[in-house]
Amino acid sequence: RVLLEPSFGLVNSALRIIGIDGPGWLADPDWALNGVVAMTVWRDIGYYMVIFLAGLQTIPRDIYDAAEVDGASRWQTLRRITLPLLNPSIVLAAVIGVIYGLQLFTQVYVMTGSPQRLAGGPSDSTTSIVLFIVQQAFRPLEMGYPSAAAIVLFGLILIVTLVQLRLLQRRFEY
């Protein structure tokens, strides 16, 4: 929140130094979701880099040596060797990314919440599915609706995960 504060945030201060007027990252409905997405990417990029690095380290060096002997260019090596052999890591990262996206709560709550209001950003522009469920759950005597929404979210995550794994599983066979 301190980084994206419109008046004294670090990002807008850096933009002002180079002569650019920064947007109201968390105050403007058109920019609030972009701010949450940027912070989520920043938070998660290291995790995905570890997944991809582990995948790259499982590719045998002999395959690259053989491609070099055969005269393969860097582009051909990337396209024909690295990406196909990195496919399990790509699938894992995609599945985890979609599940994280559907379960987005903490970033929105921390970045756009206030003591008077349970987050959601300006004009509810950053309300996620999980935040909506939490907002509904804290209404007096309203537990059925958020419970049903949570079950629907579980079903959605299950369906999306199964479809992704089914569609991308075919590419693992070489």
Say what the pLDDT of residue 117 is: 63
Evaluate whether residue 111 is within a structural domain.
yes
Evaluate whether residue 5 is within a structural domain.
no
Evaluate whether residue 83 is within a structural domain.
yes
Q: What domain range includes position 93?
A: 10-172
CA atoms lying within 13 Å on the CB side of residue 156: 14
Statement: residue 37 has pLDDT above 70: yes
Say what the pLDDT of residue 8 is: 76
Higher pLDDT, 25 or 69: 69
User: Residue 82: what residue type?
Assistant: T
Evaluate whether residue 44 is within a structural domain.
yes
Evaluate whether residue 54 is within a structural domain.
yes
Q: What is the CA radius of gyration of the chain?
A: 22
Cβ atoms of 109 and 119 closer than 8 Å = yes
Evaluate whether residue 80 is within a structural domain.
yes
Statement: residue 161 has pLDDT above 60: yes
d(C-alpha 88, C-alpha 93), whole Å: 9
Say what the pLDDT of residue 119 is: 67
pLDDT per residue as tens digits for the range 74-96: 999 999 999 999 988 888 898 88
Say what the pLDDT of residue 143 is: 83
Average pLDDT, the chain: 84
Q: How many domains does the chain have?
A: 1
Task: Indicate yes or no: pTM above 0.75.
Answer: no
Evaluate whether residue 2 is within a structural domain.
no
pLDDT band at 44; cut points 50, 70, 90: very high
Dihedral class, residue 169 (left if φ above 0, else alpha if ψ from -120 to 50, else beta): alpha
CATH, residue 57: 1.10.3720.10
Evaluate whether residue 3 is within a structural domain.
no
